[in-house]
């Protein structure tokens, strides 16, 4: 069984994308959420693990 390491940013994007089902594309919502978290904590979330 292969397990690919997933970046924290991808986890957040995927989680929010699944939780929020609106008129927007889910991936766009996830990206915006990731940007919000990055801005809120004034830090970059790693895009690679």
Query: What is the tens place of the pLDDT at every residue in 8-28?
Result: 888 888 777 777 655 566 677
* pTM score: 0.39
Query: CA-to-CA distance for 3 and 43, rounded, in angstroms?
Result: 27
Share of the chain above pLDDT 90, in %: 0
């Amino acid at each position: 069984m292969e397990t690919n390491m997933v970046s924290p940013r991808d986890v957040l994007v995927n989680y929010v994308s699944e939780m929020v089902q609106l008129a927007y594309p889910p991936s766009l919502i996830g990206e915006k959420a990731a940007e919000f978290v990055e801005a809120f904590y004034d830090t970059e979330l790693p895009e690679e693990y």
